[in-house]
Structure 1
Amino acid sequence: MTSTSRARIEPGRLRELGPINWVVWQVLSRVAGVPDAHLFSTLGRTRGLFRGWLHFSGKLMPGGRLPRHESELVIIRVAHLRGCEYEMDHHIRLGRRAGVTPEILARLRIGPADPAWTPKHRALLDAVDQLTTTRDIDDAAWAELAEYYDDRELVEIVLLVNQYEGLAATITALRIQRDRL
């Protein structure tokens, strides 16, 4: 998405969001540290669907079993691979709170080939890259990932990658504009 693209759906306000989603948007904007989190003021137009999506998304992050730092590694890597600036902006801010330093961020842009990763994080990022680029994880990468994560966490990793890949596609297709700080 180019920075000159216009939003295909304008962010909603009280009338378009309804009172519940308006309050949710206000709270989530504050948490994100922005006056208007465009993602939420756009998706909030779908009313009940937005709340269902938010519940699902929140169960993965921040409510998932993966440590927050690892969830942010996954999300930022997906955002980078998909070229989703909105997702990158948002999760660089959130990732900072979870220990994603500028050095780690630079390594995330390189990917699993960076030699500074721990074997666990390399396995995680390799799985993210494979799932994002091929829609599958090969047996060798899966076996490596399974050395570090239990069955529930493995399912969660696959769901988390696909949630944020789908979100990146939604942001891109709707031309949701980057938030202003």
Structure 2
Amino acid sequence: MARLSRTRPRPADRPRGERGTHDPPAKEGDLVSTDAKSAVARISPGTLKELGAPAFAMSRIAGKVTGTKPPAIFTTLGRAKGLYWGWLHFAARLMPFGSLPRRESELVILRVANRRGSAYEWAHHRRLGVRVGVTAADIDALQQNSSPHWNEREAVLIDSADTLLAERDLDDAQWSRLRATLTERECVEFLLLVGHYDMLATTLHTLRISPDPKA
């Protein structure tokens, strides 16, 4: 499939051994982990006093859902107070209250996590995905560059997500495939879903937020 040409740094322009932001996984089946478990968080999780009672309570509820301690994404971003609540409302409108089926949303999020090497997103949404029908076979297929596992609709979503992450665009042919698969509202939601979790992967990595331990 033809894709739009983009001016991007050549491998020689980067220090030897350094992976580019948009490079795919090193090999099929591997999650490229950039969120090292041993990394020290650059902003420590907030306490009850620092977060305020509502945000602190929200983090504890979220931990019960995921079976972990209060998720660090909430206890860290919660330090931003008003911005945190605005982000949480936006994120919730995409997932779990979006128009795409929950299983499909989780597949897209997990694909972004894999492509961006976000160990936090990967672990967090594997736990959530199991609750909405994401299977072990799905998880295996998500870690492959291509797989016959997906049905036609799922294949369009996965391929479109890959292209958006690599090119920041869809060419006319790929857009036509996506538009034939999703409604107008779902197309807008899909684009925002991919972009949102791409942004979160960058934020999580830069803040050195490690995957949440089990409760």
TM-score, normalization by structure 1: 0.96
8 Å Cα contact 2:138-2:149 kept in structure 1: no
Q: 1:94 & 1:151 partners in 2: Cα distance?
A: 26
1:3-57 deviation per Cα after TM superposition (whole angstroms, max 9, x unaligned): 2210000001111101121111111121221122111010111111111100000
- Counterpart of 1:109? 143
Q: Secondary structure at the match of 1:154?
A: helix
- Counterpart of 2:194? 161
Residue 157 of structure 2 is aligned to residue 151 of structure 1: no
Larger radius of gyration: 2
Please, what is the CA RMSD of the aligned residues? 0.9
Aligned to 2:78, which of 44, 49, 56? Answer: 44
Q: 2:68 & 2:170 partners in 1: Cα distance?
A: 36
8 Å Cα contact 1:75-1:161 kept in structure 2: yes
Pairwise CA distance, 1:98 = 1.1
Identical-residue share of aligned pairs (%) = 45
Residue 37 of structure 2 is aligned to residue 34 of structure 1: no
Pairwise CA distance, 1:145 = 1.2
| Structure 1: 4+ residue segments shifted above 4 A | none
- Counterpart of 1:21? 55
Structure 2: any 5+ residue segments left out of the alignment? Answer: 1-34
Q: Which AA in structure 2 matches 1:101?
A: T
Q: Which AA in structure 1 matches 2:158?
A: L
- Counterpart of 1:121? 154
8 Å Cα contact 2:106-2:129 kept in structure 1: yes
- Counterpart of 2:117? 83
8 Å Cα contact 2:59-2:74 kept in structure 1: yes
8 Å Cα contact 1:36-1:180 kept in structure 2: no
Structure that is richer in helix per residue: 1
Q: Secondary structure at the match of 1:110?
A: coil
TM-score, normalization by structure 2: 0.81
Q: Which AA in structure 1 matches 2:43?
A: I
Aligned to 1:142, which of 169, 175, 179? Answer: 175
Give the paired residue count. Answer: 180
